[in-house]
Structure 1
Amino acid sequence: MISKYDILVIGGGAAGFFTAINLVEKNPQLNVAILERGKNVLEKVRISGGGRCNVTHACFVPNELVKFYPRGEKELRGPFHQFCSGDTIEWFEKHCVELKIEDDGRMFPVSDSSQTIIDCFLSATQKLGIDVLTSQSVQSVYKGDGYWKVETNHESYSCQRLVMTTGSNPKVWDMLQNLGHSIVPPVPSLFTFNIKDKRIKDLMGLSSLAQVKVKNSKLEATGPLLITHWGMSGPGILRLSAWGAILLAEKNYQFAILVNWLPDTTTEEAIDQLKELKLEHAKKVISKKSPFDMPNRLWESLVLAAGISEETKWADLSKNQLHQLANQLTTGEFQVNGKSTFKEEFVTAGGIDLKEINFKTMESKLHEGLFFAGEIVNIDAITGGFNFQNAWTSGYIVANSLG
């Protein structure tokens, strides 16, 4: 027996739920179902933002917002003019979820719990009569004459329109390739750097603003850098990993980075600053207190790395030591050997080739009645709520088109 629906949404994540809810809110007569391969829905929403769910970012100008997307910047300009961050805030307010802005622009539910977003979505699907069917692993997708047939491990379904919101699912990408779509090979996008270096060995948990550059490349990013027990993380590193996703994969995650702990300060400028400090604090011990905006323990480690002993006073600083310290502060080289997933938030660069999608409708250019939303396409963003914004925007556009 085949279960028939007007529209099937494959993928029970953020994009899938947002698409289905907006669809039925605009067209209550539609018979819509969400198929999810796992036992639970919205799992990525649950763990995102450390369990708080970073819903979006307080960047309200479409032409500015697109700059946070290493892949998809050009394509998202039109969609963001249709549905942007401000629209997201308004949508959630209408659904009784109030958002707040943090100092860095990230936006979370006032409750500080991702469960608020999950409850909002589950309540809406229930109210609108959307069937949420779990443990439905799609085995095949077939295009008939004016309809789609979907086979799962449990059942057969047919629908007039099909929406794919399965994120980074290689099995689904294979099915779409069989339908003629091109898939840009996936590589991890948000990840942290594995670094073993005595300069940071005992500094776990310390964070400092830094400029990070991949050696012998144009790749660089500035932001808080967090020292972890496996190496380096934090917004600065994650930005670099997103913009460098393809290049760093080609390097097999073996490369060197140059860290400037005094962002926008050249080595020459650092030398001049250290010379002034030498005159001002002649009788003071160098390693005791950081004269820059960085944790004292990090400063002490860099002082030792420059070959300066713990007891050395500023007056006794040799020219060579001063230059070594300036180098440690502005061009410290660290070897990266591998990567680690950022918390449990796995974002992938790659997916359906953007040239094969109509971004006014999010419909496939190859197959009428086939639509995409979220990370299934070759779009990804840096950390900060931008990947979710892509899910909301693309889901909204699909709902509008199908309406």
Structure 2
Amino acid sequence: MYDVLVIGGGAAGFYAAIHIAEARPNTKIAILERGKEVLTKVKISGGGRCNVTHAEFDPKELNKNYPRGEKELLGPFHTYASGDTVGFFEERGVSLKIEEDGRMFPVSNSSQTIIDCFVSETERLGIEVKILCPVSGIEQMQHKDDTLWRVKIAENFLLAKYLIVATGSNPKIWKYIEELGHTIVPPVPSLFTFNIKDDRISGIPGLSTHAEVTVIPKKKLGTNSKKVKLESANLISDGPLLITHWGVSGPAILKLSAWGARVLEQYNYQFKIKVNWVTEYHKDGLLELFLKVKQDEKKTLLRTKVLDIPKRLWVNLIRASHIEDSITWPEVSKQQLSALAEQLTASVFQVNGKSTFKEEFVTAGGIDLKEINFKTYQSKVLPNLYFAGEIINIDAITGGFNFQNAWTGGYIAAKGVVEELNKVQ
């Protein structure tokens, strides 16, 4: 018999268990992990460095990075946010550093530092960590005057007064939670890159530049067309865009994939995007600039880079505008310059499918946000049941924000459980 069972040996599960054990040292807690290793997502995140959190310390700004959960997370972030996470690790001898883009990593540059910290804390606090424990059933039962949780592991059962479920995007566990009366928002991929085959970006993989990307809304849609139309009309993002062997990636694309997760799934990942490669210009303003350059410059367009964009991209876009390599500025026509201005400010690309972003597979979907009390992360459907992490219909635009959701949810769920345990005694 346990006081608390935590299903899921990932970031949120460990964080919750550690905070309960710290607040109530004699609490009997076990973490159940279906695999042979714990914290596997922590291990691979950030290319093996672990993007622990993000250096955004204002809750009102922090919550803007969550396509699903923005409104709901404002209160929790006022309780526990990035600064608290930094403090947690610093207190345990793990220093974090801030990179230029705001991402935070351990100074060691190794996710193993974070894993070792969690594992040593569970050992110090006497938390049981049970690996190879796949859950095959969850039910609530009456035992004398108590309501207990009965968790099935193979042919055995474990009993607990309180249950925290932190299994991430696990369809099997979602099914059990649904059977208990919760609503599950169907999962769709989030954080993915776009597959594009196009001469304008072929042959230049690895090239990165600042750009603004807009999804061009489709006219014909299936179910929920009004909602999709409304969402797709606002799908615009800017930031670094990375050209890859298979298409485009980088923060500008990943943000777009996160905010547009449901819309792009409705499009079956077949849609068009418009890219402005020179975000400080619109077409007419750029054409005006070109006409001024035409009056003064004598060299070929190919050899004159009048804009701050990568040379190889400039060359590709000139060729896409049907301007020959040998054409000089005095020779080029206004019509050709107009075509080049169009390519630079409004290149249209056909997207045919998506690719998972590295190993960091993130889904939009999970337990309906309306069924969770975000002051405690307790279920509104059943007592003594708590959730944390990606099992809830919350996802973010990069890994560090997803981890912050896990730390915040784990901490507040732990606090909620501790308050309930203290009432009993």
TM-score tier after normalising by the smaller chain length: over 0.9
Q: Which residue of 1 aligns with 2:86?
A: 89
Q: 1:36 aligned to 2:33?
A: yes
From 310, 324, 344, the counterpart of 1:309: 324
Residues 271-350 of structure 1 aligned to structure 2 (within 5 Å): 271-280=287-296, 282-350=297-365
From 368, 371, 377, the counterpart of 1:356: 371
The Cα offsets for residues 68-96 of structure 1, whole Å up to 9 and x where unpaired, read as 11110110011000001111111110011
Q: 1:74 aligned to 2:67?
A: no
Residues 39-78 of structure 1 aligned to structure 2 (within 5 Å): 39-78=36-75
Going from structure 1 to structure 2, the CA distance change for 1:88 and 1:132 (only over 3 Å counts) comes to same
From 9, 13, 25, the counterpart of 1:16: 13
Q: Which residue of 2 aligns with 1:263?
A: 279
Q: Which residue of 1 aligns with 2:215?
A: 214
Separation of aligned partners in 1, 2:258 and 2:140:
35
Q: Which residue of 2 aligns with 1:195?
A: 196
Separation of aligned partners in 2, 1:319 and 1:79:
56
The Cα offsets for residues 110-135 of structure 1, whole Å up to 9 and x where unpaired, read as 11111111111111111111111111
Structure 1 letter corresponding to 2:59: P
Structure 1 letter corresponding to 2:134: S
Structure 2 letter corresponding to 1:135: L
Q: Which residue of 1 aligns with 2:125?
A: 128
1:264 Cα deviation after fit:
4.1
Alpha carbons 1:24, 1:30 under 8 Å: kept: yes
Structure 2 letter corresponding to 1:271: L
Unmatched 5+ residue regions in structure 2? 218-232, 419-425
Separation of aligned partners in 2, 1:366 and 1:72:
19
Give the structure-2-normalised TM-score.
0.92
Q: Which residue of 2 aligns with 1:118?
A: 115
Q: 1:397 aligned to 2:412?
A: yes
Determine helix, strand or coil for the equivalent of 1:287. coil
Structure 1 letter corresponding to 2:353: G
Determine helix, strand or coil for the equivalent of 1:248. helix
Q: CA RMSD in A?
A: 1.0
Alpha carbons 1:211, 1:263 under 8 Å: kept: yes
Alpha carbons 1:57, 1:384 under 8 Å: kept: no
Separation of aligned partners in 1, 2:301 and 2:253:
29
Determine helix, strand or coil for the equivalent of 2:279. coil
Separation of aligned partners in 2, 1:352 and 1:259:
35
Alpha carbons 1:289, 1:296 under 8 Å: kept: no
Q: Which residue of 2 aligns with 1:388?
A: 403
From 230, 238, 257, the counterpart of 2:254: 238
1:288 Cα deviation after fit:
2.3
Determine helix, strand or coil for the equivalent of 2:330. helix
From 244, 263, 269, the counterpart of 1:247: 263
1:283 Cα deviation after fit:
1.1
Structure 1 letter corresponding to 2:381: L
Alpha carbons 2:45, 2:399 under 8 Å: kept: no
Separation of aligned partners in 2, 1:154 and 1:204:
52
| Shift >3 Å, 4+ stretches | none
Determine helix, strand or coil for the equivalent of 1:159. strand
Separation of aligned partners in 1, 2:305 and 2:116:
47
Alpha carbons 1:56, 1:385 under 8 Å: kept: yes
Alpha carbons 1:106, 1:384 under 8 Å: kept: no
Determine helix, strand or coil for the equivalent of 1:49. helix
1:279 Cα deviation after fit:
2.6
Determine helix, strand or coil for the equivalent of 2:366. strand
1:265 Cα deviation after fit:
2.0
Q: Which residue of 1 aligns with 2:159?
A: 158
Alpha carbons 2:196, 2:351 under 8 Å: kept: yes
Determine helix, strand or coil for the equivalent of 1:144. strand
Separation of aligned partners in 2, 1:166 and 1:204:
36
Matched-pair identity in %: 59
Deviates more, 1:284-293 or 1:54-63: 284-293
1:384 Cα deviation after fit:
5.2
Q: 1:227 aligned to 2:224?
A: no
Determine helix, strand or coil for the equivalent of 1:19. helix
Alpha carbons 1:288, 1:296 under 8 Å: kept: no
Structure 1 letter corresponding to 2:126: G
Separation of aligned partners in 1, 2:291 and 2:101:
34
Separation of aligned partners in 2, 1:111 and 1:378:
32
Separation of aligned partners in 2, 1:122 and 1:274:
61
Separation of aligned partners in 2, 1:77 and 1:364:
18
Structure 1 letter corresponding to 2:402: N
Alpha carbons 1:97, 1:117 under 8 Å: kept: yes
Give the structure-1-normalised TM-score.
0.97
Determine helix, strand or coil for the equivalent of 1:371. strand
Alpha carbons 1:140, 1:151 under 8 Å: kept: yes
